[in-house]
Structure 1
Amino acid sequence: MHVIIIGAGVIGISSAWYLRAAGCRVTVIDSHPEVAMETSFANAGQLSAGYAAPWAAPGVPLKAARWLLQEHGPLRIRPDGSRFQLAWLARLTANCTEEAYLRNRRALLPLAEYSLAELEALQQQTGIAYEGRRLGTLQVFRKPRQLDAAERDARLLGELGIAHHLVDAGNIATIEPALARARVPLLGALHLPGDGTGDCRLFTQRLAALAVQQGITLRLATTLTGIHEQSSHIEGVQLDTHERLDCDALVMAAGCASRPLLQSLGFDLPVYPVKGYSLTMPLRDTVAVPRSTVMDETYKIALTRLDTRLRVGGMAEVAGWDRQLDSQRLATLHKVVDELFPDAAERGQASAWTGLRPMTPNGVPLIGPTQLDGLWLNTGHGTLGWTLACGSGKLLADLLSGKPPALSAAPYRL
């Protein structure tokens, strides 16, 4: 079976690896000259099963109204002139009920746990290195209402068997000693000891190299210009090189680009490009940096220790395909570093980046077949692509090759 995958980010490359392991002939196509050049390039570095949660949650519409008025609020919304933006926001709002939040989080958490287990098995099998650590996530709270929400989340984590514990203010520094130097008061935290960290781009590059050694074909700097379909069946793709490549199955793993690429076939995927930012800076003092990931719940910003760098990522802008760096958003990232880890990094040497996350309104990715025979999806992972990559790739490979999957695929169907 020949499978063509569109997209060479962490989702596309992970899909290729597991499909090749299932015995498929695999071709990966991407318009960029290298792998991991879009959302996988400089994300926050989290491998967080415990923090896998939809953005649509009870109280978010009211919070969003406040955030929009704050100078350093984590959210910005700017009209992009499309009906799709309005419809997507309406659907996200409709998912902000208690019932929808619990349903969507119950879909994300098992996939995230499964994915981290698959990543660990992959690492043992191949020895792949990606500046990885398995020292947990510490979600820190500055406000009493954040503690109340954490207790609700802790109950759900307990129900699903995910290791966690609530931490009072006096014990935060026992988990992350550098937070003893924080310039702002912290009221408590939620510790997720099973979470990990790593450089997503480095992982994707090295997994792609291993996959090529296993026989996959990687076609970079190559643009998809058309999809050949006959009698409701995918037959192949057309490329900008004037080539036609035939296939038995086509996997759309192109992140935000998945929606426009499939519109010609009558699909209207609910995947919107939500802009995020990151800073990467060299370490100044290894004692003053986090051991792993610290998530500032107030600003929705993650600070992650890589080997010799600090990665700071977060923010959300619902503004279409805008990729400009906004100095005010970068100032917010610097502000959080200064408040939590003031002596950690060389902030004058920070490298800034912005990327577009492929978000669904309910926060749950789209994985599996479509009503068009031979067309498969692995997209819409939002902020969780790095966390969900291996599990999503393995789930897709099992479904496509006819093997019973390790977990139910029903929550991820289009």
Structure 2
Amino acid sequence: MKIVVLGAGVLGVSSAWYLAKSGHEVTVVDRQDGVADETSYGNAGMLSYGYTNPWAAPGIPFKAIKWMMQDLAPILVSSSAMNAHTAGWMLKMLGQCTEDAYRVNKNRMLRISEYSRQCFEDLEQVCPIHYDQRKQGTIELFRDQQKMDSIGADLASLRECGVEHSVIDHATCIKFEPALANVSEKFVGGLMFPNDGTGDCRKFTQGLADACKAIGVKFMMNTDIRALEHRDNEIQAVVTSAGRLTADAYVVCMGSYSPLLVKPLGINLPVYPMKGYSLTLPIIDESKAPQSTVMDEAFKVAVTRFDNRIRVGGTAEIASFDLSLKDSRRKPAEFVVSDLFPGAGDVENAEFWCGLRPMTPDSVPVIGKTPVKKLYMNTGHGTLGWTMSQGSARLLADIVNERATDISTEGLSVHRYL
């Protein structure tokens, strides 16, 4: 088949890879100069197969009110973004903040993440890519004993989904991350995910795009995607700044911009552009730097190690499509990296970045067929786009090919919102 993939982030390029490997003629279209130049550019750098949690969780509404009063809040709401659309999406998210919904959503997410881990391992065997990768796990670090003692429900979900993990004490945290010995009074223990990884998502995506080109995938960059032509509930073409493109199937991988494209088709896709920030610091003292990823549970900030850089990702801002960089939003990331790894990186010369995370109300991505013929989706992964990328793309390719899938597709398509 002839397939057009809309979007050249990590989800679009990964989808192109698996579709092309299964024998299709694939074209990827994107408005940017290069692949991974938007949301995939500066994410936290975590391959967090085990550390996979829905944003909508029991207690979040009350925590959100408290966070709004804090200077280092993990979630912020921009007053300029408050409108009927934003309010409606927030209400949908709040509706997912129950024990039952949290358990269902977490299990769906872990299903994809664990599958994606296996797919990454398979990919490395046939397509080795250098992306500053490390495989030394993630530590969710707890500053408060009471909070650490309250993670029973999460541990039950991890056991149910077969995700390898261990609760580790103070000394074991330091064993895995020796630099934490410099701030031993700051934490009480952690939750270790030994199969998690780290690396530069943009480097990975660029490497995979090169591999795609080598097997015949065509990339149309600097090309605006304007509309999907449809008739009799079937896509006829995609209209771009380079003209009309026709195909046998169309895959939407446009992240936060996906709802804008499919809304004229009658599909109300509840994906919101959750703004996220990151800092990338040159390492100035190796002995004080992290070895892998430390997720600060209290501030929801991840500190991740690349070869000679530290990536710090955190802060979620409900700000619609606003991509302005506000200096005040640096504070949580600067505080956590300076508090846990003082003197490790050059904070003054850090690259400050923001991007739009395509977030669904339940934090579960949208993968698979749509009610419109020839139209498929692979979008809405929120903060876990890279983590879930290979599993999502391979699953999408099996759906397009009408093959039996390796994991259940229950609850993953857009039909759950219709």
Per the normalisation by structure 2, the TM-score is 0.97
Matched residue, 1:147: 148
Counterpart-to-counterpart distance in 1, 2:197 and 2:151: 20
Matched residue, 1:50: 50
Matched residue, 1:70: 70
Counterpart-to-counterpart distance in 2, 1:201 and 1:130: 8
In the TM superposition, residue 413 of structure 1 has moved relative to its aligned partner by 1.1
Matched residue, 2:126: 125
- After superposing on structure 2, the runs of 4+ consecutive aligned residues of structure 1 that deviate more than 6 Å are none
Amino acid at match of 1:116: R
Amino acid at match of 2:59: G
| Corresponding residue SS for 1:149 | coil
Matches within 5 A, 1:7-406: 7-79=7-79, 80-182=81-183, 184-241=185-242, 243-406=243-406
Counterpart-to-counterpart distance in 2, 1:184 and 1:263: 51
Cα offsets for 1:48-98 (capped at 9, x unmatched): 111111100111111111111001111111242432211110011110111
| Corresponding residue SS for 1:281 | strand
Alpha-carbon contact 1:164-1:192 (below 8 Å) kept: yes
Amino acid at match of 1:283: I
Name the Cα RMSD after superposition. Answer: 1.1
In the TM superposition, residue 183 of structure 1 has moved relative to its aligned partner by 6.9
Cα offsets for 1:290-314 (capped at 9, x unmatched): 1100000111000000001000001
Amino acid at match of 1:240: S
| Corresponding residue SS for 2:237 | strand
The answer for unaligned runs of 5 or more in structure 2 is: none
Counterpart-to-counterpart distance in 1, 2:124 and 2:147: 35
Cα offsets for 1:145-201 (capped at 9, x unmatched): 321333331222122221111112233211111111127520211011110111100
Alpha-carbon contact 1:259-1:271 (below 8 Å) kept: yes
* Stretch moving more, 179-188 or 355-364: 179-188
Counterpart-to-counterpart distance in 2, 1:60 and 1:13: 34
**In the superposition, relative to structure 1, how do residues 226 and 156 fare at CA in structure 2: closer, same or farther (>3 Å)?**
closer
Amino acid at match of 1:352: F
Counterpart-to-counterpart distance in 2, 1:208 and 1:368: 22
Alpha-carbon contact 2:314-2:332 (below 8 Å) kept: no
Amino acid at match of 2:365: P
| Corresponding residue SS for 1:163 | coil
Counterpart-to-counterpart distance in 1, 2:62 and 2:145: 17
Counterpart-to-counterpart distance in 2, 1:322 and 1:245: 30
Percentage identity across paired residues of the two chains: 43
* Stretch moving more, 358-367 or 163-172: 163-172
Amino acid at match of 1:86: A
Counterpart-to-counterpart distance in 1, 2:313 and 2:256: 19
Counterpart-to-counterpart distance in 2, 1:202 and 1:329: 25
| Corresponding residue SS for 2:275 | strand
| Corresponding residue SS for 2:256 | helix
